[in-house]
Structure 1
């Protein structure tokens, strides 16, 4: 009997922390038209002429700080997710892992599913909140590849799972490990996006950034808005932990360039809190299902150091979903539910 196929896709990682491999990764990542959505000429000049040559060596040093004997943390956790999900689903399924950028490629993972003769494919982009630059890019890449196949099986996509109750419970459980009452404030820090991409995603053209609180409540108008989904994820985690609204802030990190990105910026909020006397800060990062450069280094190392230099005592990162068995159960649910 034919198996059902499941394709897990994460963002990607360099093959090694060498400058050469980091530059190759950055080049593929930043040349994606959904990531830097400007003209091809402008993107080529910016990425190949400025960002990759100059940022590559700096990023390589950062990757070297988080690299382990098992390789990239993101790759390590993603491979375990694949293997654990395969164990959960059993012999009636074939689970493969692909990275949107670098290895293993989405194409190689899809080819394995094709060679396995699967009767259908469920694509799960490992990003809780939908964004064109992440989930949208994965879906586009999958469709480009399979469009060249002679026989195309049934394919279904998971758009987002930002409000999945079991996922929320894992983040909340991980937060409780840190004795919540000992912290003065809580941050929910999500990966940033340029404001222009948020605006482009507003099909109504009448809602996005038209007010200061346009993302605070998820509605039919902004249901596909990355920022609105981020706020909703944060609200659900905070409610499950009984964190009052005035005790937490939703922020965005990892911006690139000088144009405005989703705000407020995590770095600025961390600085302001320290200057205003906040001593202990607990940070959730619910845009990532696996700990990676943006969490292990940017939050746990950089923000912690900056916070202490301004008078704070501690920025504590809450670990991500990683290989938590309840999270694997969420993947099982996404793989088997009727879309």
Structure 2
């Protein structure tokens, strides 16, 4: 009997934390025209001439901080997620894992599905909120690769799952372990994007960033906006925890370069809260489905140290979805529906 194919795709990770592998990863990642969306000549000069040569050593050191005997946390949890989804779906499905950058590659995963003679392929980019630089990039590459096949099976994509109730429940449950009521403030810190990428998603040309609260309510105009979907995710998790709007802040981390990125920046929010006398912060990172460099180091180490230097006491990360049974159930539902 024919099987249905499921392709889970996460962002990627170097093959090792060594400089040579970090260089390969950064080069492939940052040369993606949807990640740094400027003319290719300029992008090549920037990435190959400046970013990769000067950032690889530092980034390698950061990866070594989170790498353990299991390897890359992102890859480790992605493999477990894939295995558990396969077990739940059973023999009627063939589930494959791919990374948008580095290994296992999308091309190799698609070839395995083709060799398995699957009758259809469901692609699930593992990014709760849609962004051109993440979900859009996965979709584009899958379509480019499959377009070269002589026989193209039915293919469908999950655009986003920012409001998936099971996912929201996992974040809320993980937060409850830390007793949110004992913290002075809660942050929902999403990975950042250049503002120009949000503007490109506004097909009307007259809504995005025209006022300070354009992302706070999801509507037909901003329904594919990464920031608006992020605000929506945060509000839904906050509702499950009974947090009022004055008890939490949505912010954005990991910006690169000097041009404006989505605001407020997490570092600025830390300064503001410290100045207000806040001492203990609970931080969600709901743009990721598995703990990785941006959660395990940037939040747990860098933001904790930065906040303490400003007079705060503690920054506590809410664990990501990882291998939580409810998240596996959510992926199974996305694969089936």
Q: How far 1:230 moved relative to its partner?
A: 0.2
Q: What residue number does 1:304 align with?
A: 304
Could you say what secondary structure the match of 2:7 adopts? strand
Q: What residue number does 2:87 align with?
A: 87
Please tell me the root mean square deviation across aligned C-alpha atoms, in Å: 0.4
Instruction: For 1:112 and 1:41, locate their aligned partners in 2 and report how far apart those are by CA, in whole Å.
Output: 34
Q: What residue number does 2:120 align with?
A: 120
Query: What are structure 1's unaligned runs of at least 5 residues?
Result: none
Q: What residue number does 2:172 align with?
A: 172
Q: What residue number does 2:147 align with?
A: 147
Instruction: For 1:107 and 1:315, locate their aligned partners in 2 and report how far apart those are by CA, in whole Å.
Output: 40
TM-score relative to the length of structure 2: 1.00
Q: What residue number does 1:324 align with?
A: 324
Q: What residue number does 1:249 align with?
A: 249
Instruction: For 2:323 and 2:204, locate their aligned partners in 1 and report how far apart those are by CA, in whole Å.
Output: 39
Instruction: For 2:321 and 2:155, locate their aligned partners in 1 and report how far apart those are by CA, in whole Å.
Output: 26
Could you say what secondary structure the match of 2:6 adopts? strand
Q: How many residues align?
A: 337
Q: How far 1:181 moved relative to its partner?
A: 1.2
1:298-327: CA deviations, max 9, x gaps? 000000001011110100000000000000
What pairs with 1:94-243 in structure 2 (closer than 5 Å)? 94-243=94-243
Q: What residue number does 1:70 align with?
A: 70
TM-score relative to the length of structure 1: 0.99
Instruction: For 1:276 and 1:240, locate their aligned partners in 2 and report how far apart those are by CA, in whole Å.
Output: 26
Q: What residue number does 1:53 align with?
A: 53
Could you say what secondary structure the match of 2:322 adopts? coil
Q: How far 1:276 moved relative to its partner?
A: 1.9
1:13-70: CA deviations, max 9, x gaps? 0000000000100000000000000000000000000000000000000000000101
Q: What residue number does 1:290 align with?
A: 290
Query: What are structure 2's unaligned runs of at least 5 residues?
Result: none
Could you say what secondary structure the match of 2:326 adopts? helix
Instruction: For 1:132 and 1:16, locate their aligned partners in 2 and report how far apart those are by CA, in whole Å.
Output: 27
Instruction: For 2:11 and 2:68, locate their aligned partners in 1 and report how far apart those are by CA, in whole Å.
Output: 19
Instruction: For 1:109 and 1:116, locate their aligned partners in 2 and report how far apart those are by CA, in whole Å.
Output: 11
Q: What residue number does 1:32 align with?
A: 32
Could you say what secondary structure the match of 2:139 adopts? helix
Question: Is 1:15 aligned with 2:15?
Answer: yes
Instruction: For 1:7 and 1:306, locate their aligned partners in 2 and report how far apart those are by CA, in whole Å.
Output: 39
Q: How far 1:331 moved relative to its partner?
A: 0.2
Q: How far 1:275 moved relative to its partner?
A: 2.2
Runs of 4+ in 1 over 4 A off after TM superposition: none
